[in-house]
Amino acid sequence: MKGGRHDSSTVGRVPVNTASHVNEAIRRKSWEDVRRAIAAGPEAVDRRLEQLDREWDFERALETHAAAAVLVGLGLGAFVDRRFLVLPATIAGFLLLHAVQGWCPPLPIYRRLGVRTQREIDDERDDLRALRGDFRDPQITRRNLGFDAG
């Protein structure tokens, strides 16, 4: 809760619910990837942009793994032992918790593994495109993004 009210914005909830040192490690790695691609030249930037297009964000990873675990739990519950039905029930609780609060027990694990939000992926994409010169905005330059002007 912020200011006594629930924050209904979903965009920033994952980083807010992530340890600051983990967020910083994710930002640092992203910036290192940008610097490495820019230093390697235009083809490396294009390759990195293609990689970013294929990168799964946190929401997609969580939903996919949750769905797979639910299916496994249902199968085990139906064909092996009904007690396995606790697995899909638990996962449903995790997903509900994530939808309401932006946090769930797997979140710290995913984040420590470097799984990023869509906004974090888009920020890296925008940095690469800005440094490549895709934007006409004079406020976005190599210099103010931490690179030499030339």
Residue that is written with structure tokens 């930037």 in the block: 45
Between the alpha carbon of residue 121 and those of residues 10, 83, 115, the distances in Å are 15, 39, 10
Interior CA angle at 58 toward 37 and 46, to 5°? 20
Looking at residue 9, what is its pLDDT? 67
pLDDT in tens, 3-37: 434 445 677 999 999 999 999 999 999 999 999 99
Q: Distance between CA 99 and CA 85 in Å, rounded?
A: 22
What pTM did the predictor assign? 0.85
pLDDT in tens, 97-141: 999 999 999 999 999 999 999 999 999 999 999 999 898 765 655
Give the number of residues written for the chain.
Answer: 150
Looking at residue 117, what is its pLDDT? 98
